[in-house]
Structures are given as structure tokens and as C-alpha cells.
Structure 1
Amino acid sequence: MVALQTLYSFLTNILTIGLGTQAEKHTVTFKNNCGRGTAKLIQGSKVLHSGGGSYTHHGPLMSAIAYLDTGPCKFNGEECTTLETTLRNPPSPGAGSSTDVTLIPPHKFNVAVGFSYSGGCNGVGNRCGSASCCPKGAFCKPDDYQSQRQCQTNNVSICCE
């Protein structure tokens, strides 16, 4: 009888731990309001997504960029308005997700770009609608930190438009 109770306790703990733990994931949704171009999501040397719709990343999405390729854009968004993002569950206070629009050369304005968080930090985002949106709407120099938006919520997602 004691062995049966121990087994029951063990299985209950395993199920509780297994069901209570969710894997980290983040979704990037693309909304092309321009009617032209192809949305791209790049991480390092890898194209994670190309086109409309959504991309879900299992685990932290570190140092990714997104842009609307309207023709002149190079692989890392050079020559175009580019969104930079890290989406991750905060490992410590203040170390969660961070997103911004960059026009720091060799990036330059080609289309309006905006973003907003969802699934947490709803309503937090930013938008660059013209080449003169700096410093509030985009980084134009490395210390334009007021354009950066952060979110300290697990499994946060982002919509890019």
C-alpha cells in the first residue's frame, strides 16, 4: 500500500510539473500596408521568414531584424527602414524583450515601419513614418535610446507593419 501511494505521489508530481511548464515561444506577425514588397525576418545569416503572415519561434529570438524588401534592400536590411528585435522571456529583471526601428547608416528610410507587442505589454510599440522620425521613432545614431521599447513579459509576440 505504501509503494502504491509513493507511486501515485510521484506520478502526480510529474504530471503537475509537465503540465505547468510551458515552452518559450514568440510570434512575429507581418502586416504589409504598402501593397508592395516582401517582408523578411532575418537572424544572423538565416532567413527565418519571407512573405506575409506569421512566424512562430520556439525559444528566445535573439538579435533578429525585419524589413519590407521593396527592391533596394540588402540582406541585413541595409538601404531600408529596419526593425531590430530580441524577443525572450526575461532571465532577470529588465533583461526581457527589446525592439526598435533603425535608420542608422547603412540603413535608411524606404517605407513607414511600426511595431507593437501583443500577449503582454499590449499597446507598447513605436512607429517611424518618415525619414525625419528620429530620435523618438527610430535610432538615427547609436545613442537614440528613446526610440527603443522593452517588454518584460513571458512569451510576448510582436506585430510589424
Structure 2
Amino acid sequence: MFSKLLNAALFTAAIAFVRVHAETHTVSFVNKCVDGTPWLWGPNGALYTSTGASITFDGEAPGLISYLQTGSCGNNGEGCTLIEASLINGASSADISLIPPHEFSVTSGFGYYGGCEPAGADCTYAQCPDAFHTSGMTGVQVDCIADNVDLSITFCD
């Protein structure tokens, strides 16, 4: 009887430990543009569209790409300003990409919240110094080492 109680207590403690230490990340959008819908390509190629709701990932969220789909963007954001991010505990990073075939389309920016504030970047014109223009550029990636950090993406601010 004692061993069953001990096993049950250990199992309950293990579940509580996992829940307390689970990794989660939220991506929220602020769209101040007249037209367009924020698109977010998530892990495993899943497409999320937002009309104001945030998107929460339970676990790591690597390889995120986001842009404002105005009807003129390709499926991978071609022709538009691209926000790229990987949200991973202790190793998150985000950037703005204008590497062709991506190009400036609307004012776009991002900022971390829930850790690493006020780190982020904004791009308000085509020669934006806070964006990648070629793959060899350095210094425009914005890193965050906080756990469970979230990201806010803004269009037309």
C-alpha cells in the first residue's frame, strides 16, 4: 500500500514539475494598416492568420516568418517586409528581412515582452538600417536569452 501511495505522489510531483517548467511563447499582432491580414508561418509549416488574436506555442517556436498579407505578397512573403523569429528558451532571436525577393512593403517592427524589453527593431522605409538587406549582414539580429519570452509584431505604426 505504501509503495502505491509513494508512486502516486512521485507521479503527481513529476506532472506538476513539467507544468511549471513547460516552455511557452506567444506572438501577438498590432495591425494599424488600413488593409491586410497578418500571416505567420509557424513550426512545421503551419499557417496562422490573425485578425487581432494572439498565437501561443506550447514548446519551442523555431523558424517563424511573418508579414502583412495585402494580396501582393507571395506565400513566403516575397515582395513584402518579412519578420523572422525563433522563440526558444535561452536562445530566441528575431530580425527584419528585406533580402530579395523580400522588399519593403509597409512599416513593420517587433519587440520582445515578458523578458528582454525593450529589445526589438523597426523598419519604416526601404533603406531601413535595422533590416537584413543581404545575407552577409551582421548586427541586425535581435537576441533574447529570457525563458518563455513573447513577441509583438506591429504593422503600420
Q: 2:52, 2:138 → 1: CA distance? A: 29
| Shift of residue 120, structure 1, vs aligned partner | 1.5
Which residue of structure 2 lines up, in the alignment, with residue 159 of structure 1?
Answer: 152
| Shift of residue 45, structure 1, vs aligned partner | 4.1
The correspondence for 1:128, drawn from 109, 123, 130, is 123
Instruction: Confirm or deny: 8 A CA contact 2:37 2:49 kept in the other structure.
Output: no
Determine whether 1:37 maps to 2:36: yes
| Shift of residue 8, structure 1, vs aligned partner | 4.4
Q: 2:73, 2:94 → 1: CA distance? A: 20
Q: 1:111, 1:18 → 2: CA distance? A: 45
Which residue of structure 2 lines up, in the alignment, with residue 93 of structure 1?
Answer: none
Structure exhibiting the larger radius of gyration computed from Cα positions:
1
Instruction: Confirm or deny: 8 A CA contact 2:41 2:48 kept in the other structure.
Output: yes
Which residue of structure 2 lines up, in the alignment, with residue 19 of structure 1?
Answer: 16
**CA 1:140–1:17 in 2, change beyond 3 Å: closer, same or farther?**
same
Determine whether 1:149 maps to 2:146: no
In structure 1, runs of 5+ residues without a counterpart are: 91-95
Determine whether 1:76 maps to 2:76: yes
In structure 2, runs of 5+ residues without a counterpart are: none
Higher-RCO chain (CA-CA 8 Å, sequence separation at least 6): 2
CA RMSD of aligned residues (A): 1.8
- Where 1:160 maps in the other structure, the secondary structure is strand
Q: 2:6, 2:37 → 1: CA distance? A: 54
Q: 2:46, 2:11 → 1: CA distance? A: 37
Q: 2:27, 2:124 → 1: CA distance? A: 20
**CA 1:9–1:87 in 2, change beyond 3 Å: closer, same or farther?**
same
Instruction: Confirm or deny: 8 A CA contact 2:29 2:50 kept in the other structure.
Output: no
Q: 1:53, 1:130 → 2: CA distance? A: 27
| Shift of residue 159, structure 1, vs aligned partner | 0.4
Q: What code does the residue aligned with 1:159 have?
A: S
Task: Report the identity percentage.
Answer: 37
Alignment of structure 1 residues 40-59 onto 2, 5 Å: 40-43=39-42, 45-59=45-59
- Where 2:139 maps in the other structure, the secondary structure is helix
| Shift of residue 9, structure 1, vs aligned partner | 4.1
Instruction: Confirm or deny: 8 A CA contact 2:107 2:124 kept in the other structure.
Output: yes
Which residue of structure 1 lines up, in the alignment, with residue 67 of structure 2?
Answer: 67
| Shift of residue 71, structure 1, vs aligned partner | 2.4
- Where 1:111 maps in the other structure, the secondary structure is coil
TM-score, with length taken from structure 2: 0.86
